[in-house]
Amino acid sequence: MNIILLGPPGAGKGTQAHRLVASRQMVQLSTGDMLRAARKSGTEMGKKVAAIMDAGELVTDEIVIGLIEEQLTTTTAPGGFIFDGFPRTLAQADALGDLLDKVGQSLGTVIEMRVDDDALVSRITGRFTCGDCGEGYHDTAKPPAREGACDNCGGHNFKRRADDNEESLKVRLMAYYRETSPLIGYYYAKGKLQSVDGLASMDEVSASITGAMDRA
Ligand code: AP5
């Protein structure tokens, strides 16, 4: 089943996508991760988007639709795709529908992760990841079991994102409410929307998401 995880920055989309990859053999398609990889490898496109991402603004529809098209036409996902951070605009949502049709696939469900804005600040400013394996952590909600060492790979190379600060978060939230939140109505009207409480514990959110997928 192909699903979209929809929610503001810090809602827990990436955290839950990683869990679904492990438990359901799904493939995570995160446009944020793809754009960060392009930056890191120094491609022309990566250089073009760096400042936009650091400021918390959205990169162009053309770029992200191109990234998703490339993945959908070259990757197989026996357990289905998880769209994480895509679509983020109505144009991207229309494009995703067309792309899925083109590759003979469909959308199972869209899961809106509901959280309140106050919680997002602490989630975003406390977040860090293992630079070696990508495992995600949080200063208080999910610190590594052994301080300074990744639970997953034992690495010591932790990283914080350049856009994980309060100033950039305000811009990211504004972009979410202006450009992305209309997708809630868009997918509701298509009969695809389900909502979960993103403020619950990580395990409870996982259970709500798998329940929503099983009902779809
Ligand atoms: P992107 O990488 O997609 O970032 P985002 O949407 O801002 O989402 P985040 O990754 O910040 O949050 P998340 O919901 O995944 O939360 P997480 O699981 O990490 O995009 C970055 C930038 O790229 C954009 O600003 C834009 O410039 C560009 N971009 C990307 N896609 C684009 C598109 N389609 N169009 C245009 N531009 C695009 O959780 C956060 C923290 O909370 C973690 O530390 C975690 O441990 C903790 N946590 C998670 N769940 C819980 C829980 N239940 N309880 C307590 N703590 C929790």
- Closest protein CA for atom 1 of ligand 1: 32
Angle, CA of 133, 21 and 143, to the nearest 5°? 45
Q: pLDDT (tens digit, 9 = 90+) per residue, 57-68?
A: 999 999 999 999
Q: What's the pLDDT score for residue 210?
A: 97
What would the two tokens of residue 83 be? Answer: 């769209």
pLDDT at residue number 42 = 92
This prediction's pTM:
0.95
190 Cα–ligand 1 center, Å: 25
What are the pLDDT digits (tens) for 21-43?
Answer: 999 999 999 999 999 999 999 99
Query: What pLDDT does residue 178 have?
Result: 98
**What pLDDT digit, counting tens, does each position of 43-97 carry?**
999 999 999 999 999 999 999 999 999 999 999 999 999 999 999 999 999 999 9
Number of other CB atoms surrounding residue 204 within 10 Å: 13
Largest CA distance in the chain: 47
Query: Phi first, then psi: what are they for 147, rounded to 5°?
Result: -55, 130
Residue of 13, 28, 168, 180 to test ligand 1 pocket, by largest number of atoms within 8 Å of CB: 13
- Give me the percent of the chain exceeding a pLDDT of 70: 100
pLDDT in tens, 142-187: 999 999 999 999 999 999 998 999 999 999 999 999 999 999 999 9
